[in-house]
A and B are shown apart, each in its own frame.
Chain A
Amino acid sequence: MNNSKQTVDKAAEKKKPMKPFSVHMNKDLQRRYRAEKWFQRSGIAAIVIALSFLLVLFASIIGSGYTAFRQTFVELDVHFNQDLFKNENIAAADYPAMIKDSLRRTFPEVKERRELKSLYMIVSPGAAFSLQDMIKENPRLIGTQQKVWVPANDDVDMLVKGQMKASEAEDNRRIKDDQLAWIEKLEKDGRLETRFNTTFFTSGDSREPELAGIWGAVKGSFYSLLITFLLSFPIGVAAAVYLEEFAPKNFWTDLIEVNINNLAAVPSIIFGLLGLAIFINFWGLPRSTPLVGGLVLTLMTLPVIIIAGRASLKSVPPSIREAALGIGASKMQMVTHHVLPLAMPGMLTGAIIGMARALGDTAPLLMIGMVAFIVDIPGGFTDAATALPVQIYLWADSAERAFTEKTSAAIIILLVFLICMNAAAVILRKKFETKW
C-alpha cells in the first residue's frame, strides 16, 4: 500500500508544472467553465434544430392545407320544374337536368354539345345532391325558382385558389379557355365566391374533392378509440396494480414483465396481423369496423398503459402503504383507498399518451380492412368505418390535384387532436400530481 502511494505521488509530481497554485487553479476553472458552456450550447443547438424541423413541418402542412377550409361556390337560378317531379319518389327526380338547365339559361350563347359539356363541368357533380337535399327538406319548393349556391368543380376551385395558373398554355390546364371566360363572367356578376368549407367537416369520403369530408373518419376514429379506452384502461390498470402491489416476485412475474416491455416495442402492424387472425378469422367479427379496430388498438396500447401505470404506482411512497396497513386496512383497501387514487393522474396521463399513439396509427388498421372507401358516416361500432390517419393516406394517394390540400387539412385536424390530447395529459399531471 505504501509502495503504491509513493508511485502515485511520483507520477503526480512529474506531471505537475511548477507554477503558483492560483494560476493553475484559474486555468483549470476556465477550462471547466468553457466545457460547461459548450455543453449547454450543444443542448440549446439540439433544441433549436428539433424546433426548426417542427416549424418547417408545420409551415409546409399549414401552408398547403389552409386553403382547403375555403371552398368555391357558384350561384345558380334553379327552376324546380314540376315536370321533372313526375315520379312519386322525390329522390329519383332528375336533379342534374335542373342544374344543366340553369347553367344553359345563365349562358344562353352556349349551344354546341361539346361546349355544353364543358360548361356543365364548372359545377360539381355533387350540386345535384344539394338540390335533392333541399327538396327533401322542403318539398314545397317544387315548381318554384330559387337562387342556390352550389359547390364548384374541383378544377374551378383550384383555379380560383391560384393552384392552377390561368397563364399556363391551354393544353396544360384542365380548365380550358372557354371555361375560363365563363368563370370570369360568373365572378364579375358576383355569382362565384369562396366560402367557409362546411362540407369538409360534415361529410364522409368522396371521390370528388369538393364533396369530401373528414367527419366519417373522425367518427370512425372516435368509436375505435372509445373501445380502446374502455378495454385498455381497466385491463391495464388492473394488470399494473396486480403486478406492482400483489404479485410475488418470482421467475414468472419477471417473465411477464419482460414480455410486457417487449410488447410495447413491437411494430404495430404485428398487432394488425394478430387482429386479422383472431378477431376476424377466428371470432368472425365484421371486417372494417371500429369494433375490430378498437380491439386491435387495445392490444397496441395495453403495454403502454401497464408500464405507465406501474411507474406511477411505484412513485407512491411506501410510507403511505405502511400507514394504511398500520391502522388496520386490508391490502385491497390500502390499494383502492390510498395508492390507486394517488397514482391515478400518472395512470391517466399514460393512458392518454397511449391513446394519442393509437389515434395516429394506420398500420394495424391496414390489415383489418379499415383502409377503405367509405362514404356513409358510421353510426355505431359495427358499421364500416375508416380512421383519420387512414383518410389522410387515402387522399394522399389520389390523383386529383385538389386532394393535396385536403390531405394537408386532414393532417392539421389530426395534429390538433393530438395536441389537445397531449396537452390534456400535461394539464392532468400538473394539476393532480402530488409532490412528495
Chain B
Amino acid sequence: MNVKSIFLASALTMTLMTTGTAMAARDTISIVGSSTVYPFSTAVAEQFGKTGNFKTPKIESTGTGGGFKLFCGGVGVEFPDMTNASRAIKDSEKEKCVANGVKEIVEVKVGYDGIAIANAKTAAPLKLTRKELFMALAKEVPDPAKEGQLIANPYKTWKEINPELPDAAIEVLGPPPTSGTRDAFVEMVMVTGAEEFDFIKAMAKSDKDKFKAVSETVREDGAFIEAGENDNLIVQKLQANPKALGIFGFSFLDQNADKVQGSAIEGEVPTFEAISAGKYPVSRPLFFYVKKAHVDVIPGIKEFVAEFTNEKAWGPEGYLADKGLIPMPDAERKQVAEDVAAMKTL
C-alpha cells in the first residue's frame, strides 16, 4: 500500500511538473548561437538588464550551426527567440525554419569581425598573401613543375613558397572544423587563395565538388595544428613558440597586443581602422536573427534589439567597439537600424 501511494504521488508530481512548466510563460529572452557574437551579445544583454526594466537575457554559446538548429526548432516559449551567427543564414536552414513554422525572421547585421593570422611579438612580423597561405596550408597544391597538376603539399618552410619569407618551418595553429572562425578562414583565405590559380578557378565551373575539395581541405601532415576552440590557448602557444603562426579573432589580438602581432595580409595589417574601412581582407560580418512571432509574446525583445542597434552600443565610440566589434560604416548602420526598427523580415 505504501509503495503504491509513493508511485501514485510521484507520477502525479511528474505530470504536474511537466504541464505546469510547459504552460508557463517565459519572461526572459533566450538567445543561442555563435561563440564569436557571444561576447558582444552578452555585453548588450548585461547593459540591457541593468539599465532597463526587463530581466537580463539568457545567452547560450552553441556555435552558429547549433544555434540555427535550436532557433528553427519551432515557435513557442521552449524555443529560443534569437540566434547569433558569424555568417548569414543558409538556404537549407531557412527551409528548415519555415518547415517548423518559423516563417518570419528578422536579420540584424551588427558589425564585422576580423580574423588575424598572428605570430609572437618576439618574432619578425610577416607579410603574407592569401595565395601564399593557401600554398602553405592546403592539402593539395599546384605542381610547380607541371602546369595544371595537383600534388600533395610539398612545402616545408615559408621560404620554399616565397624567397622573401623567413626560412622557418610552416607551423600554423588554428581552430578545429567545428568553429565558425575556421569556416570563415577557409572561405576568405583558402578559397580566395585557391582562385588565384586559373586552372583551380576553372574547376569551380567544371567540377564543383573537386573545387571544394581542393580549396577547402587543410593539410593533415602536421603543418596545420588544430589547437582547440580556445583562442587564449593559441595566444599562449604562440608566445612559447615564436616560429608558429596562429589564427584567431581580432578581439584576442586587440587584447594581447603586447604578446602577439597580426601579419599583414596583402599589405594590410589587421587594425581596427583597416577592418572597419573594409581594407583588411579577412573580415566577416556578424549577425543575429530574431523570431518575429515572439516579438510581442516575450517581453523586451524589441527593446533588446533597440539597445543592440543603438549608437552607444554598436557605434564607433560604443561599448561594443571596446569589446572588439568592428562597427559598420555610418550609412549601413543607419539602414540596418531602420530596417530593424520596422522589423523587416527576410
CB <8 Å contact, A286 and B61? no
**CB under 8 Å from chain A, chain B span 227-267:** 229-232, 249, 251-252, 254-258
B58 touches A373 (CB 8 A): yes
Q: Does B35 contact A (CB under 8 A)?
A: yes
The answer to whether A207 and B43 touch (CB under 8 A), given A287-B30, A384-B58, is yes
Task: Tell me whether A399 and B21 are in contact (CB under 8 A).
Answer: no
Q: Which residue of A lies closest to B19 (CB)?
A: A284
Interface membership of B155, Cβ < 8 A: no
Min CB–CB distance A55 → chain B (angstroms) = 21
In the bound complex, what is the Cα–Cα distance between A288 and B42 (angstroms)? 16
**Residues of A contacting B26 with CB < 8 Å?**
286
CA distance A397 to B61 in the complex (A): 11
User: How far apart are the CA atoms of A56 and B258 in the complex, in Å?
Assistant: 26
Q: Are A401 and B255 in contact (CB under 8 A)?
A: yes
* B183 CB-CB contact with A under 8 Å: no
Q: Is A254 an interface residue (CB 8 A)?
A: no
B308-322 contact mask (Cβ, 8 Å, vs A): 1 or 0:
000000000101001
Does A21 count as interface, using CB distance less than 8 angstroms?
no
Give the contact stretch, choosing among B44-52, B93-101, B104-112, B144-152. B44-52
Chain A residues with CB under 8 A of B324: 399
Answer whether A288 and B58 are a contact pair too, CB < 8 Å, given A164-B258, A172-B121, A174-B255.
yes
CB pair A399 B45 closer than 8 Å: no
Given A284-B78, A397-B230, A399-B324, A172:B58 Cβ within 8 A: no
Q: In this complex, what residue of B is CB-closest to A204?
A: B56
Whether A396 touches B230, Cβ cut-off 8 Å, given contacts A172-B257, A285-B18, is: yes
A376 touches B55 (CB 8 A): yes
Residues of A within 8 A of B345 (CB): none
Interface residue A187 (Cβ < 8 Å from any Cβ of B): no
CB pair A284 B229 closer than 8 Å: no
* B38 contacts partner chain A, Cβ-Cβ < 8 Å: yes
Name B58's contact: one of A374, A396, A399, A400 (CB within 8 Å).
A374
Residue of B with least CB distance to A400: B255
Interface size on B, as a range, is 35 or more
Query: Main SS of chain A's interface residues?
Result: loop
Cβ-defined contact, B252 with A399, below 8 A: yes
A174 near B257 with CB under 8 A, answer: yes
Interface residues of B in 50-96 (CB under 8 A from A): 50-51, 55-56, 58-61, 78
A405 vs chain B, min Cβ distance (A): 12
List, in ascending order, chain A residues with CB within 8 A of B231's CB. Answer: 397, 399
Output the least CB separation between A377 and chain B (Å).
Answer: 10
- Residues in chain B near residue A400, CB distance under 8 A: 255
Contacts of A401 in B (CB 8 A): 255-256
Residue of B58, B255, B319 contacting most chain A CB atoms (<10 Å): B58
Q: A246 → chain B, closest Cβ, in Å?
A: 13
Q: How far is the CB of A42 from chain B (nearest CB, A)?
A: 33
**B7-51 toward A: CB 8 Å interface, digit per residue (1/0)?**
000000010011001101010101010010011011101110111
Distance of A397 Cα from B257 Cα, bound (Å): 17
Task: List residues of A (370-412) whose CB comes within 8 Å of B's CBs.
Answer: 371-376, 382, 384, 394, 396-401, 404
- Asked if A206 and B255 sit within 8 Å, CB to CB, the answer is no
Scoring A residues 358 to 377 as 1 if CB is less than 8 Å from chain B, else 0, what string do you get? 00000000000101111110
Contact in complex: A375, B56 (CB < 8 Å)? yes
Residues from chain A with Cβ under 8 Å of B257 in the complex: 171-174
Rounded to whole Å, the gap between the CB of A429 and the closest CB of chain B is 30
Which residues of chain B are within 8 angstroms of A287 by Cβ–Cβ distance?
30, 78
CA distance A335 to B252 in the complex (A): 61
A397 touches B35 (CB 8 A): yes
In the complex, A373 Cα to B56 Cα: how many Å? Answer: 9
* A373 and B42 contact, Cβ closer than 8 Å, known pairs A117-B317, A286-B78: yes
Asked whether A286 lies within 8 Å of B21 as measured between CB atoms, the reply is yes
- A174 surroundings in chain B (CB, below 8 A): 255, 257
Q: How far is the CA of A398 from the CA of B251 in the complex (A)?
A: 10
Q: What chain A residues lie within 8 Å of B232 (beta carbons)? A: 396-399, 404
Decide if B344 is an interface residue (CB 8 Å cutoff).
no
* Contact present for A374 and B56 (CB under 8 Å): yes
Is B212 among interface residues, defined by CB-CB distance under 8 A?
A: no
**Nearest CB to that of A172 among chain B residues?**
B258
Q: How far is the CB of B60 from chain A (nearest CB, A)?
A: 4
> With A117-B317, A207-B43, A287-B30 in contact, is A369–B21 under 8 Å at CB?
no
Q: Report the minimal beta-carbon distance from A29 to chain B, rounded to whole angstroms.
A: 52
Q: A170 vs B32: C-alpha distance in the bound complex, in angstroms?
A: 38
B210 within 8 A of A: no
Encode contact with B along A10-43: 1 for CB under 8 Å, 0 otherwise: 0000000000000000000000000000000000
Within 8 A of B (CB), among A158-199: 164-165, 168, 171-174
Closest B-chain residue to A126, C-beta based? B50
Q: In the complex, what residues of B have CB within 8 A of residue A285's CB?
A: 17-18, 21
B323 within 8 Å of A (CB atoms): yes
Residues of B within 8 A of A432 (CB): none
Query: CA separation between A372 and B254, bound complex, in Å?
Result: 24
Nearest-neighbour CB distance to chain B for A136, whole angstroms, equals 12
For B39, the chain A residues whose CB sits under 8 A away are 207, 398-399
Judge if A251 is at the interface, Cβ distance under 8 Å: no
Q: Chain B residues near A65 (CB, 8 Å)? A: none
Query: Closest 3 CB pairs between A and B?
Result: A172-B258, A375-B56, A373-B59
A-B contact pairs, 27 of them (CB 8 A): A91-B51, A117-B317, A165-B258, A168-B258, A173-B257, A173-B258, A174-B257, A207-B42, A208-B46, A280-B78, A283-B17, A284-B18, A284-B21, A285-B18, A286-B26, A287-B78, A372-B60, A396-B230, A397-B35, A397-B230, A398-B39, A399-B251, A399-B254, A399-B323, A399-B324, A401-B255, A404-B232
